[in-house]
Structure 1
């Protein structure tokens, strides 16, 4: 008997911005700000005070902190020793992963909790990549040194960051459960239900235009209310979510179908091929033609 077990197709894109190690002296501070990306911070040594949406948290040596996109925060080294850290900003267009990462404005993982995971191991591997790259290829600015890792190290860096996210998700979910048991649930059941209803409707209207306004009207919400409750649960606006759905579908169609670029554009509800091509390049850094395999990829048949 022939047996074949298949994994699902995966076209998610990981975006990594501002990945760096740093050392800041006592008295250093960074003003209130926010990013449109998730932020993962590890305190290597010393201590830093993070003020997040008015809540102050001491992040100590060995601790990890995950910040949801759009959360306002500021930092200050209030200790008497240098603060050294690893920091990376990232985004990923996998909707389920974003939902898990966006459950709360931030997640604080202590050194003791992290020690029971492989987070310290992955941080050491990234440090090794840094050291190797420093010895190979660097450029210097007034207050920084930029490294250019080899192709292999770039792949390893992306893999370790994904593995870090994988390790953090169970810890964040466990923290959520503890908060809910203690009556500290940040989103009400009503808000959660509304956000999930919006999400289901967005999925069903990915090929149409004006979906957000229509969904808000259908749910007896204003457009701003619709957006606010969705961001609270999913961490991105409904329009950004639709963009992610369109990107995912565009990747699938470009890789797994023989539809022309124009047909893909029409199917996804774009007004023109040029509009679709510009948007796809913003999403991926490539044109649809550059992203599509040079030779048509036919769906695999069992046993092939």
Structure 2
């Protein structure tokens, strides 16, 4: 039996090469008059109302979220929220993202945003969220064990959202033809591959991160490939590369030995001020303040 025949008979599981992130997880009680100004995030934001009513303005729609209801805010979506209908509102909020463009694209296209209290699908999600809420009772929430438990809960949430999304997907036409999806996937994989080689192997120049060059290397014109990518995934190739840079920046800032300047250069920024401005757009914090906040949490 030759090598090819052996490989054909070998069953393999897929290689997992992605970032699964959860951050900004908090539970809070606010009073009447509380408000959050308009903002947007690079990740999904999920809001669960424990008590009261919270109003969210998003995509020219007002959502009045009540007890045991959920709202899913997509990435890069401007929104603002406030409490003006009750004296007290208690909510749980979590931000999460996964470096899997097809999942994100399908979520943007097919997922529910508003989950009513009487829906069995909502209750299924809440049962997962309650596991996160239970973690607040732990004496030390920054241990390795707790962080792994949070990752497991996030995985369960993504699976639940995926299964619900798949049901809705069957009722709709595909966002693009099979060939369009294939081309968009090729572009996303090329962007990720070039970024990782640039970041970790140091065998590519900064030009390797040129979106135009990547798209044209995939055999497409820049304008067509750019528009196709955005049609399929709901974000531009440049925004996808920005997400990869943001994920890497968070990882590097957790390494005290790396200076901000070294991180800036590693991510492909021409100067540290450009990186600092971009990071503040991502998080609302400077890289230095983000690092201080992370290190303080690790000490607690």
Q: TM-score range by the shorter chain?
A: 0.5 to 0.7
Q: Are 1:69 and 2:75 counterparts?
A: yes
The correspondence for 1:200, drawn from 181, 186, 210, is 186
Matches for 1:277-296 after TM superposition, within 5 Å = 278-279=266-267
Is residue 151 from structure 1 mapped to residue 144 from structure 2 by the alignment?
yes
- Residue 204 of structure 2 corresponds to none
Alpha-carbon separation, structure 2, partners of 1:102 and 1:240: 15
Deviations along 1:198-233, whole A, 9 cap, x unmatched?
4434546755554436747976674xx864663454
Does residue 15 (structure 1) correspond to residue 3 (structure 2)? The answer is no
Against the structure 1 CA distance between its residues 245 and 37, is the aligned structure 2 distance closer, same or farther, given a 3 Å change threshold? closer
Give me the CA root mean square deviation: 4.1
Tell me: CA distance 1:158–1:114, structure 2 relative to 1, closer, same or farther (3 Å): farther
Match of 2:51 among 45, 49, 71: 45
TM-score by structure 1 length? 0.61
Q: Which residue in 2 is equivalent to 1:169?
A: 162
Tell me if 1:84 matches 2:85: no
The 1-side partners of 2:263 and 2:132 are apart by 39
Q: 1: CA distance between counterparts of 2:10 and 2:184?
A: 37
Partners of 1:229 and 1:77 in 2: CA distance: 40
SS of equivalent residue, structure 1 residue 112: coil
Q: Find the counterpart in structure 1 of residue 197 from structure 2.
A: none
CA distance in 2, matches of 1:121, 1:177: 25
Decide which structure has greater helix share.
2
Alpha-carbon distance in structure 1 between the residues aligned to 2:266 and 2:214? 26
Aligned to 2:117: 111
Distance 1:107 1:82 in 2: 24
Aligned length: 233
Identify if the C-alpha distance between structure 1 residues 149 and 58 changes in structure 2 by more than 3 Å, giving closer, same or farther.
same
1:126: how far off?
A: 1.4
SS of residue matched to 1:102: helix
Q: What is the Cα deviation at residue 102 of structure 1? A: 2.5
Deviation for aligned residue 1:117:
5.2
Query: Residues 116 and 122 of structure 2 are in contact (CA less than 8 Å); yes or no, is this contact kept in structure 1?
Result: no
- Structure 1: which 5+ residue stretches go unaligned? 138-147, 248-273, 283-304
The SS at the match of 1:131 is coil
The alignment status of 1:126 with 2:132, answered yes or no, reads: yes
Query: Would the aligned equivalents of 1:40 and 1:89 in 2 still touch at CA under 8 Å?
Result: yes
Deviation (angstroms), 1:236? 3.3
Q: Give the Cα separation in 2 of the matches to 1:169 and 1:116.
A: 13
